[in-house]
Each structure stands twice: as C-alpha cells, then as structure tokens.
Amino acid sequence: MCSCHLGNVEGNDFEDLELPFCFATASTTSTSTATTEKFSSAHIFEKVSPAIVFIHTSTATGSGVLVEGGYVVTNAHVVWPFNAVRVVFPDGTDYREVPVIGWDLLVDLAVLGPISTPVEPVPMLDGENISIGSEVYLIGYPGEVEAYPKTTMTRGILSRLREWESVGITFFQTDAAITGGQSGGALVSDMGDVIGISGFSFRKEFGLAASSADLLPRVRQLIAGRDPSGLGKRQFDMEGGSLRYRLTPRNYGDAYIINEPPGTAIEIEFSGGNDVSFQIVDSYGDTQADVETSSFSFVTRGYGPLFLIPQQISRETSLAASHRLVQFDDPDRGKEIRVGQILHGNIDFPTDIDYYYLDLARDETVEIVAMSILADTQITVWGYRGETLEVWLRDENSGGGLFGLDARVVFKAPHTGEYILGVASRWEPPSGYVLTVEQASPTARLTSMTSWVTINTPVNVREGPGTNYAVIGTAAAGAWYEITGRSPGLGDWWQISIGDRTGWVYGPLVTATNSENVQVVAPPDG
C-alpha cells in the first residue's frame, strides 16, 4: 500500500531512465501518432497477428502483445498469481517459464519477458483521437482450449471513450466481444495500429480496452523496475512456509497458501481452541471446503494455489498441516489513514478484507470512497465504545465510478476515537483500488446504519427459523453478525449473514441493533 498523489503517469516522468526500447517519435511525448491510411481487415490481421501471443497458466489462458525489446504486455489478471507463464506464438514457437517482470494491479497490467524472438514487435500507439463509430478489431485467443491455438480476429466499432480520472486511464468501449482468453490481446484501429490492450467485458454488453497512450508510460516504468501502482510487491511466495502456525483472533481472514499438485492429500488440524471455522478457496474464489470441525482432510483437484482462510477464531489455537502452508502477509491490513489522505490498496486473495484505522473527533463527518476498475468495491465502517459495537455501516455501489460500482460512505462520528474501515470486493482478485477519506459536504446525506445482532450466549445457527431446522453451526458469545431478515409471524428469529451464506438465530438469545425496519424473509422448506 502506498500513500500517493492521484495523478497521471506521464511520459516525461521517465526521461532519466535508460530503457531498452522507446516507442516515441522525436516528440517529447511517449507515444507516436497513429497513421491515417486505412487497410483491409485481412491486411491488418497479417500485419499484427504474428506479434499476438497465447499465454497459458495452470489455471487460465489469455493473450499478450509483443512489443519492442522482446517484452510481452498483457493484463495482470491473465497471469496472476504466477511468477512465470507459458507463451506461445502463432507459428507454434513455445516458450516455457517466461518470467513476469512487473505488475500494475491498479490498472490490470503486467509485463513478461524479455523473450529472444525473430518476430517483429508492434508499437503501442495513441488512438484517442479516432472518431466514434470507426471500425476497430480485437486480436487474441478467446475461448481457446488447444495447446497451440490460432489467433482470432473480431470486428466492431468504437462506441465511446470512458475515463478513469483517478489514475488517468482512458478506455475504448467497443461492441466487439471480449470473452475469456481475449484478455491481454490487442485492440487495433482500422489503420492497423495497436491502440489498446483488451481487458474485460461489462455485463456482456460491451468490451473495454485500456488506451496504449496511457498504458505505455506504466509499461516503461515496469520494465525499468519501478512501481507505477504504488502497491509494492504483491506476488505470492509459493515456496517455504511451515507445517505449524500459532493463531489468535487477530488472524481472522488471513490467507495460508497451499500449493500442491492435483491429487495431493492434505490434512488440516486445529488444536487448543474451540469455535474454529475456516474456508479453503481457489484463486477464483470457488469454495473447496467450508469447515467448522477441528480436523479436516481433502485432496487437491487442480493446479494453482489454494487459500486456507480462518473464518472464526475465538481464542489462541494451533494450526497444523501435513504439507507446508505459506502465510501471506497482507500489507494493506492494519494501516492508518487520515482525513485528506489517498491510499492505494489491493484485494490480494479471494475473501480478502483490508482493514484501515481512522481517528475522528466527535461529530466529524467524512466521505469515504473506494474506487476501482477491477473490484466491485465494498466499504464497511465499524466503531466501538469500549467493548461494545456502536457503529456498523456498509455500502457497495453509491460512489459512481467507471461502471457505477465504486463504494461510498458518508459517516458522522458519534464519539471521538478510532474507527475501522474495511475494503472488500465481490469480484475475484487481483483488484487494485484507490481509497480516499475527505471532509464531507454539509449537504451530504449520511449512510444508513446496518442492522446486526450481538450474541449474548453461545447459540446454535440453524437452516431456518425454528428448532425443527438442522443446526449448521454455532455462534460464540460476544460475536456479532449482520441481520439479513426476520421470521414471519412473531418475528422472534433473525436471519444473519455468516461468511458467504445465511443462517437463523433465536431472538431471545441475542441483542438486535437498528432492527426496526428489517424485512420479513420466507423460511426455507423444512
């Protein structure tokens, strides 16, 4: 995480760097001007496609663009979380273990290489002056399952430009389809210029490609060994680790990486503490196990890292495993943020929640915003008076942003003290974001308080509102959970959120807060 100015990365930021290549003309800018002669689609494909590579990891495939110096530009999410990947050219030339030399997780950018190849690289050119309605092409490897696939070309039109002003990135919006595997490929103008790197589609309605003109300075900085995102090193250490860890309640939500080949039998055991639960998820956030027992065994089903994530730890306990686990030290957790400060953070693994501490005076009103192009951000604010939870606010999509998915909370502190800000995402990592805290406008509308229960005594959590429903877990005394509904009739059962699922607790055994307007939820079939 880095505290930095919200400004653009410009070409003249790198005049002191001795780089192995330069895409610029004799001008002082970092990009050339696109040509004006139009070509047939067949000519464009023949010109560009030899430099579009197929990228393969043990969990996914994608595309990349060969640029000068033997480097390959692609999306960060194509190669995450691996430090080396397989690269295949259209002529079948196969490069194994090509290193990922730099990541910019804020703008979904990665650089691989260098590769020694006779293939002619393509320049990244400025196409932001191209007229809306112009034809554009996507060249890459969408939906490929072959080991040595052929390059694909798709045609569309330039629909509009979208600006992510927070970090100075322009996106080309096109109706040309971006599907799985196309990410990291080239967006090409009708003049045969690579004007963007295709990133993702939004709700399957349109595709977006980041402008070459804005990415190029960041590419050059990554090649020079610098960090344009301000996030620091975020690669996972897949080696080393330990067979044992000592856990406390502060390790809630931490990630312990399992990196074993398919078919490996893994045994996990917790000892010394009750009320331990944990999840095991893959890099896409798919749950491999959701466990509330003290011991558990499973067999890995595929390649790629798995993440063991403690969901509940009531007191100090020991974690032991049959194979080494690598604890990920999240640099975004436990940092302080001040009013007027801007921080860059990253959702590093599935279910990751980053915690920040904010000191406020009584009645001080602030606006907190989390902005991202890779995350459907969520902000939560907690505040305690002594040991009692007094404040709980949450927002997902009130902050606008490029897709209208940024989170925004306006909050008035009820007392002087320290408050906790949590930032999470509904999308899988990596998800870089920008977090800001500013004094709120006097006319800003306050975010409504969340409804929650505090557990008074250890209580069963059931599938439905009644003792005739199966017990799915227990809630420890002193814990608190968000209320998501109430039972029909007497309304003496509360539906609560437990991780990625819901359960029911009996009302007389808990204390409900801000529960007056909770909606009735129909119980499941019993």
Whether residue 6 contacts residue 167, with contact meaning beta carbons closer than 8 Å, is answered with: yes
Residue 167 token pair: 């970090």
Whether residue 110 contacts residue 100, with contact meaning beta carbons closer than 8 Å, is answered with: yes
Cα angle value 470/290/474 (rounded, 5°): 45
Contacts of 75 (CB under 8 A, 6+ apart): 62, 108, 109, 110, 183, 184, 197, 199, 200
pLDDT at 29: 34
Question: What is the three-class DSSP state of 480?
Answer: strand
Domain ranges, ordered by start, for the chain: 2-223, 242-328, 335-439, 452-513
Both ends of the chain: CA-CA distance in Å? 48
pLDDT in tens, the chain (526 residues): 333 333 444 444 433 333 333 333 222 233 445 555 678 999 999 999 999 999 999 888 999 999 999 999 999 999 998 999 999 999 999 999 999 999 999 999 999 999 999 999 999 999 999 999 999 999 999 988 888 999 999 999 999 999 998 889 999 999 987 777 899 999 999 999 999 999 877 666 788 999 999 999 999 999 999 999 999 888 888 888 999 999 988 888 899 999 999 999 999 998 876 667 788 998 888 888 877 777 889 999 888 899 999 887 878 889 999 999 999 999 999 999 999 999 999 999 988 999 999 999 999 999 999 999 888 999 999 999 888 888 999 998 888 888 888 999 999 999 999 999 999 998 888 899 999 999 999 999 999 999 999 999 999 999 999 999 999 888 888 888 999 999 998 779 999 998 778 999 999 999 999 999 899 999 888 6
**CATH code given to domain 242-328:** 2.60.120.380
In whole angstroms, give the CA distance from residue 491 to residue 141. Answer: 54
Residue 369 token pair: 């915003």
Residue type, 109: L
pLDDT at 204: 67
Question: What is the three-class DSSP state of 487?
Answer: coil
In whole angstroms, give the CA distance from residue 107 to residue 199. Answer: 10
Helix (H) and strand (E) counts in the chain:
3, 37
Contacts of 192 (CB under 8 A, 6+ apart): 35, 39, 43, 44, 47, 48
The string of DSSP letters for 105-129 reads TTTTEEEE------SPP--B-B-TT
Task: Please report how many Cα atoms fall inside a 13 Å half-sphere around the Cα of residue 247, on the Cβ side.
Answer: 32
Residue type, 29: T
Domain 2-223 has CATH 2.40.50.840: no
**CATH code given to domain 335-439:** 2.60.120.380
Whether residue 455 contacts residue 479, with contact meaning beta carbons closer than 8 Å, is answered with: yes
pLDDT at 21: 38
Cα–chain center distance at 263: 28
Q: Do 242-328 and 452-513 show the same overall fold? A: no
pLDDT at 7: 41
Q: Any bridge partners for residue 510, and if so which?
A: 455
pLDDT at 375: 87
Contacts of 149 (CB under 8 A, 6+ apart): 54, 88, 141
Question: What is the three-class DSSP state of 108?
Answer: coil
pLDDT at 23: 38
From the candidate CATH numbers 3.40.50.720, 3.40.630.30, 1.10.10.60, 2.30.30.40, the one assigned to the domain spanning 452-513: 2.30.30.40
Within the chain, what is the greatest distance between any pair of CA atoms?
78
Contacts of 370 (CB under 8 A, 6+ apart): 377, 378, 379, 399, 406, 407, 408, 423, 433, 434, 435
Residue 271 token pair: 């000892």
Residue 328 token pair: 């990920």
pLDDT at 32: 45
- Taking only Cα atoms into account, the Rg of the chain, rounded to an integer number of angstroms, comes to 25
Q: By C-alpha distance, which of 249, 243, 244 is closest to 316?
A: 249
Backbone dihedral region for residue 69 (phi beyond 0: left; psi -120 to 50: alpha; all else: beta): left
Task: State the pTM of this model.
Answer: 0.85
Question: What is the three-class DSSP state of 195?
Answer: strand
pLDDT at 35: 53
In whole angstroms, give the CA distance from residue 214 to residue 78. Answer: 20
